[in-house]
Amino acid sequence: MAVFTDNTPISLIKGFSNGRHNRRCHWFPASDYNQLQDHQKIVGEALINLAGVQQGEKVLDLGCGTGHFTRVLSELVGPEGRVVAVDPDAERIKIAKESSKKKPNIKFLVENDQTFPGQDYDLVFCNHVIQRVMDKVALFKRLHEKLRSGGSFVLLTFDGTPEFMADILDAFSEFAGPDFHHKLMYEQQVWETASTYRELAEAAGFVVKSIDTKQSHEEWGSLKELISYFHGVSHGLFDISTVDEESLEQYRVENNLRSFHVPRKLLYIKVTKP
Ligand SMILES: C[S@@+](CC[C@H](N)C(=O)[O-])C[C@H]1O[C@@H](n2cnc3c(N)ncnc32)[C@H](O)[C@@H]1O
């Protein structure tokens, strides 16, 4: 659980200025994302356990972001194993490479679910990514082709559309634009339920080993951090340089916002290729 309070050190927010007359924020989507993804890391640990990674395996980290789990996977497969980590966001791959210089068994590439190289993977690991893949039929088909027989695909996402986001995202319309909610939730992402994922996997030839839902919760006490997080996850969909500390604080006070409780209905899935 990620718990952020009003006392969260301001230094957590890259580029945040405490200067009295210089309160414009100069943040970058990938670094915002890199610093404020604690919840995703914590719940992703259970996906690592579900994957059951073995020494010497060849793993694809699909949508690796800034590479936190790529490095975990690299340790688990050991020097005889290999991790190919792909993400279409070049800025995130740059950060991932810089943070992983001592991991010779990782190859980072700016690619996506339809362009990643390699075959005969033992495992495809996919944390908080599948909702961003528009054509999920094509995704399952390609993963089935690229895994070895007996190989596994594990994924973590939300079960259905996370309705709780509506309140929070509407609160951001003042800063991120009235269409931010729609763009982030329905243009950048396509949400499916557990039963649809089962159908997609089975139609592609996979055997479903497990589908589990889990209720999770995070709490954000600072509007500054939350807007920075949404700037990151939306890949910079709005201009955060126009957002200043005083307007955020004024908004928070006017709307009596003390903290944001964010429940998440998580979905953990493991399928294997017969
Ligand atoms: C929420 S992040 C998760 C990053 C990483 N898996 C982690 O757990 O830290 C989602 C990532 O999926 C990537 N992504 C979006 N569309 C993709 C696609 N079609 N194929 C692969 N990755 C994609 C995004 O660029 C983003 O970095």
Choice from 113, 123, 129 to test ligand 1 binding pocket (greatest atom count within 8 A of CB): 129
Bridge partner residues of 84 (DSSP): 60, 107
Q: Is the CB of 65 under 6 A from ligand 1?
A: yes
CA–CA–CA angle 10, 254, 247 (5° rounding):
45
Asked whether residue 239 is domain-assigned, the answer is: yes
111, pLDDT greater than 50: yes
Distance CA 67, CA 89 (A): 12
Asked whether residue 100 is domain-assigned, the answer is: yes
Rounded distance from Cα 254 to ligand 1 centre (Å): 35
Tokens describing residue 3: 């718990």
pLDDT band at 226 (very low <50, low <70, confident <90, very high): confident
Residue 127 C-beta-side C-alpha neighbours within 13 Å? 26
Ligand 1 atom nearest to CA at 61: 6
Ligand 1 atom nearest to CA at 40: 8
According to the model, what pLDDT value does residue 5 have? 26
Asked whether residue 9 is domain-assigned, the answer is: no
Asked whether residue 13 is domain-assigned, the answer is: no
Asked whether residue 8 is domain-assigned, the answer is: no
Position 143: which residue type? L
Asked whether residue 2 is domain-assigned, the answer is: no
Range of the domain at 236: 24-272
Q: Is the CB of 188 under 6 A from ligand 1?
A: no
* Burial class, 22, CB count within 10 angstroms (exposed 0-12 / middle 13-18 / buried 19+): exposed
Which of 16-25, 31-40, 204-213, 219-228 shows the lowest mean pLDDT across its residues? Answer: 16-25
pLDDT (average), residues 239-263:
81
Rounded distance from Cα 64 to ligand 1 centre (Å): 6
pLDDT (average), residues 238-255:
83
CATH number, domain of 155, equals 3.40.50.150
**Protein residue closest via CA to atom 1 of ligand 1:** 128
pLDDT band at 32 (very low <50, low <70, confident <90, very high): low
Sign of CA dihedral 8, 18, 229, 253: positive
Beta strand spans in the chain (E)? 58-62, 82-86, 106-109, 121-127, 147-158, 207-220, 260-272
Q: Is the CB of 43 under 6 A from ligand 1?
A: no
Q: Is the CB of 176 under 6 A from ligand 1?
A: no
Nearest to 74 by CA among 102, 106, 37: 106
According to the model, what pLDDT value does residue 12 have? 28
Distance CA 69, CA 45 (A): 9
Q: Could you give the 3-state DSSP secondary structure of residue 114?
A: coil
Ligand 1 atom nearest to CA at 233: 1
Q: Could you give the 3-state DSSP secondary structure of residue 242?
A: helix
Phi/psi of residue 16, nearest 5 degrees = -70, 135
21, pLDDT greater than 80: no
Distance CA 256, CA 100 (A): 42
Mean pLDDT of the chain: 84
**Protein residue closest via CA to atom 10 of ligand 1:** 129
Total domain count for the chain?
A: 1
Distance CA 162, CA 170 (A): 14
**Protein residue closest via CA to atom 4 of ligand 1:** 65
125, pLDDT greater than 60: yes
Question: pTM of the entire structure?
Answer: 0.85
- Cβ count near 190 (within 10 Å): 15
Which of 82-91, 147-156, 183-192, 243-252 shows the lowest mean pLDDT across its residues? Answer: 243-252
Asked whether residue 6 is domain-assigned, the answer is: no
Which of 178-187, 228-237, 250-259 shows the lowest mean pLDDT across its residues? Answer: 250-259
CA–CA–CA angle 159, 164, 169 (5° rounding):
120
Rounded distance from Cα 131 to ligand 1 centre (Å): 9
Q: Is the CB of 154 under 6 A from ligand 1?
A: no
According to the model, what pLDDT value does residue 56 have? 98
Q: In what order do the strands lie in the sheet with 147-158?
A: 106-109, 82-86, 58-62, 121-127, 147-158, 260-272, 207-220
Q: Is the CB of 91 under 6 A from ligand 1?
A: no
Asked whether residue 110 is domain-assigned, the answer is: yes
